[in-house]
A and B are shown apart, each in its own frame.
Chain A
Amino acid sequence: MRISVEGLACRRGERLLFRDLSFSLASGEALVVTGRNGAGKSSLIAMLAGRLAPAAGAIRAEGIGEATLAEVTNHVGHKEGLKAALTAEENLAFAGAMLGRPRLSPREALARVGLARAADLPAGYLSAGQRRRVALARLFVSRRPLWLLDEPTSALDAASQVRLAEVMQGHLAEGGLIIAATHAPLGLEGTKTLSIDAHVPSVDLPGGAEGERA
């Protein structure tokens, strides 16, 4: 599949966050979105997830048949979406039922993030990093090609970050796509980078540089 974004602009309330943002991404490619705090990284992710309407521009997806972009997207935002009273396994089983296109079982998905033994623990008992990893395990319960990750490495320790980089590399090798908004380097090879700062409108510089910096 292929995603192309052209002339995207984002407006939150009265403020224009960014404009003229363009990039394209094909199967097996990853895009790292960088930018200072408040530049609109999370808004861009929300737009790609179909949760926020663009003020201008278009997001197109090819090669996904009848499905909409939201239906092939596996989105892990900065909120984990875990219920404290449910066990890690129950949380993932629910995510699997919502996302459809089943892939791994909840327990297998937990094993991928190194939390196989947490399956029967209520999510409320887990630490912040562990909860983050359970949320990331959601990426494996469903066969959705586009991974949208908002600050995926936050609260993760060094070992978990390495592991995350490994699974992301594996996803790319299988022909998946990854778009991640992050401050920290992800440790992935051959990624494209997009800096939102270049598209933030300022009084002195109308317009912005060309969207893509490979």
Chain B
Amino acid sequence: MTRAFLALVLRDLRLAARVGGSGAMGLVFFLMLVAVVPFALGPDLNLLARIGPALLWFSAVLATLIGLDRLFQTDVEDGAIDLILSSDTPLEVLVAAKGVAHWLTTGLPLALLAPLFGLLLALTPGAMLAVAATLVVGTPALTFIGAVGAALTASLGRGGLLLAILVMPLMVPTLIFGVSAANAATGGTIAFLTPFLILAALSLVAIVIGIFAAAAALRQSA
């Protein structure tokens, strides 16, 4: 079971790194969003610093979304899903492996680079740290909520837009508590830990529900 889990994580990481893989695409998209929004808002650093955490979080949601439609779709297209479904390892474990690989190539790098991009938005060091911490804790929720949508649209060919429509509403709670935790860290009326712990709880719940729902959806649709 561990062997199959590791093999799938390793395979997806390899695929992401090789030519034609999605690699750092989500990260580049993240940078683009952060860089382009000030053109719409104006370069007022006070304004940008105030909305910076929210902007980084929203960009992280969008950057997670754009690669998600391919999560299971590639395996359905080339038939590798047959192997995954006929494994003697429970499908839930394998879905978890896909999610972990996706998070390692998307969510984690986003969280780690967010402080750097925070420089563009004149965030204070405290705010940068808070955004990074909330993203590390919150992006697993985005990945696993998205995995449900990815599993549902896996056999539809062009699932990208549909996927976004399906899962964006489900990401709202994560967004709310992620941004409030990041804001609370830099001053405000509530303590940092309150929204942060709720965010952590949301993430854990999303991982569990996401794994089982995505596995069920894959059994139906693939």
B-binding residues in A (CB < 8 A): 49-51, 67, 70-71, 73-75, 77-86, 90, 93-95, 97-101, 138
Q: When A and B form their complex, which 4 residue pairs have the shortest distance between CB atoms, in order from nearest?
A: A79-B79, A97-B7, A81-B79, A85-B18
A50 near B86: Cβ-Cβ < 8 Å: yes
**Bound Cα distance A81, B77 (Å):** 8
Which residues of B from 1 to 37 have beta carbons under 8 Å from A? 3-4, 6-8, 11, 14-15, 18-21
A73's partner among B19, B86, B89 (CB-CB below 8 A) is B86
A94's partner among B11, B18, B21, B82 (CB-CB below 8 A) is B11
Name the prevailing secondary structure of the A interface residues: loop
Residues in A with CB closer than 8 Å to B8 are 94, 97-98
Smallest CB gap from B84: residue in A: A98
For the complex with contacts A80-B79, A81-B80, 4 further pairs of A-B residues with Cβ separation under 8 Å are A98-B4, A99-B83, A99-B87, A100-B87
**Bound Cα distance A67, B79 (Å):** 23
How many residues belonging to B are interface residues under a CB distance threshold of 8 Å? 26
Residues in A with CB closer than 8 Å to B19 are 85
B44 within 8 A of partner (CB): no
B78 near A83: Cβ-Cβ < 8 Å: yes
Q: How far is the CB of A88 from chain B (nearest CB, A)?
A: 14
A71 near B88: Cβ-Cβ < 8 Å: yes
Residues in A with CB closer than 8 Å to B7 are 93-94, 97-98
Name the prevailing secondary structure of the B interface residues: helix
A-binding residues in B (CB < 8 A): 3-4, 6-8, 11, 14-15, 18-21, 77-89, 94
A-B contact pairs, 21 of them (CB 8 A): A49-B82, A50-B86, A70-B85, A81-B79, A81-B82, A81-B83, A83-B11, A85-B14, A85-B15, A85-B20, A86-B11, A86-B14, A86-B18, A97-B6, A98-B7, A98-B8, A98-B83, A98-B87, A99-B86, A99-B87, A101-B88
B15's partner among A50, A74, A83, A138 (CB-CB below 8 A) is A83
Residues in A with CB closer than 8 Å to B77 are 79
**Bound Cα distance A86, B87 (Å):** 20
A98's partner among B20, B21, B89 (CB-CB below 8 A) is B89
